[in-house]
A and B are shown apart, each in its own frame.
Chain A
């Protein structure tokens, strides 16, 4: 994609000037970014002073405080991003900008850079103020965790901004965009709470995992935003939005009609199906390794209970239970594929693989693999195909194109899984009967 950095900088400069041009907004942002850290830092110092020194509690709360003071200005990024995109659209300034020779990528990059720049300056400013108020004289400085916080903040703000851009591109008014932004701020606040919990239980090293997850999320959202930010999508959608429900119903019916079935479907989706199949041995390997980490006294009773309950059931009832369990797993994987971005498609094969691997570690590979025969010859391929179709749903969700068509593609991917269930259900029933009546140990 062509991008003239000078022009992107021009867009960023104007947006920055626009945000900085409103003195009341600047005072509110700087004030909150400065006052909250001072109050929080003073509180920590008071806790240390009146609470009998720098206890473990003071140390951990001081780190949680750092996350808290950074999150507040980070949440500004949402407001700024929504204002920068949907605000301009609402005031009809976006059409003027789009009518210039600037490319979409330059407008997008400039706007994202401007919001990121302002938000990160506020976040790091707040962090510096907090550190300056809190730590001098306390006798400790958690440099490692604060560095991971700094990195995590960049990724977190990037994820929020890029998410907000996608929201903006799909909302016509600020009010609609604000409502849709809840889908960004709520998961982020949950992440903040999880991070705080990790610090309180002294597992700060896991924060790097959060930073990595945020970076991946931001990269996916950035790609989605860039893919969907187009003149056509922004201007044509305004008049093409009539009868949405009827159009959605028609799209569902058309997607179901047009979805290939049987071997044609497997051939068409061979890449995601194969990647789901590969997750089975990967899961087996991880399960095998996990046996050396997870304490036996935790896993053995769980497995023992499972085996005992299976042994006590009559074969017909067991077949029904296995069938329903497998069907439910596939349906859930399909339903959650969108929100998990296709991750459930990998879980569908990786989790049974992990169980086999774990069983192999506590017994032998021969015994473990024999345990899933002959039903596994049907179940594993069916799970791989269903998993592949779930991965395909996730891929459709994160794929935006300049000419639109996101809903059609997502509905099409879901229709493929729904249509495949027509022949998967009988296969699952056969596998369940085989497992209940023929598998070793029954």
Chain B
């Protein structure tokens, strides 16, 4: 579903993403871990057709994002880090408007909005202005907005960072449902629990580069082999992540 081949993105003198290659099949989830400024958001913007790659290629459902970015965006659901809601619209009107943008017919739109608001326990707040919503409620609305048109590729940047544990589990369940329905998902997060719950595959990014990908065992293996570092018998994802990023920093600090 998503093929990224040697992607690079440069903003003036800043190389935000460099030589990034990855592949996400339909019905799978890739979780991207990385520090702030690691290039995750820029990579996702390039994958969604929002930004043009400075080098390399992004294919979504076989469509090249440079050749037809409109068609790429039509297949993508993007959940940015900041929900970015229109404060003076009710939740229902807001979702209805985006449903029209995504060309859902009237009946489908109404049913889908109603179902998703109920799933995320927002039915009672549906006719309130979004400006009155809490941070967590906003994040739920952003998630609904990005996925209400059944996108084939979901790109989510910290989708549950403002949610309480119960709501986060509902969101994870919903994302898992999208995956089971055949969508490909790329989720950026700092939440290790979220990563472990969601991920079939995990990618670790630092300074614009993808350092390692694979499941937890593969990542632990990569982190341990790299420096013969002592890895505890059953490492947690957090330990593996810190080992990989630590190795990278040591590599960069060492004189050539």
A residues adjacent to B (C-beta < 8 A): 7, 10, 14, 17-18, 21-22, 91-96, 98-103, 231-232, 235-237, 239-243, 247, 403
Contacts and interface: CB of A to CB of B under 8 A. Distances in A.
B168 interface: no
B102 A100 contact: yes
Contact of A101 (B13, B16, B73, B86): B73
Contacts of B52: 232, 403
A17 B89 contact: yes
B51 A103 contact: no
B80 interface: yes
Given A14-B86, A18-B89, A91-B84, A102 B101 contact: yes
A240 B11 contact: yes
B142 to A, nearest CB: 8
Interface in B97-137: 97-98, 100-102
Interface size class of B (residues with CB under 8 A): 35 or more
B237 interface: no
Nearest to A236: B11
B78 A99 contact: yes
A92 B78 CA distance: 13
Interface of B: 11-14, 16, 42, 45, 48, 50-52, 69-71, 73-74, 76, 78, 80, 82-89, 97-98, 100-102, 142, 145-146
Nearest to A15: B86
A101 B89 contact: no
Given A239-B14, A242-B12, A96 B70 contact: no
A105 B50 CA distance: 15
User: What 4 pairs across the A-B complex have the smallest Cβ distances?
Assistant: A240-B11, A240-B12, A21-B88, A92-B84
Given A10-B101, A99-B146, A239-B42, 12 more contacts: A14-B97, A21-B88, A21-B89, A91-B84, A93-B86, A95-B84, A98-B50, A100-B73, A101-B71, A231-B69, A236-B11, A242-B12
A231 B89 contact: no
B80 A92 contact: yes
Contacts of B98: 100
Contacts of A237: 11
A99 B146 CA distance: 9
A236 B16 CA distance: 10
Contact of A231 (B13, B50, B83, B84): B50
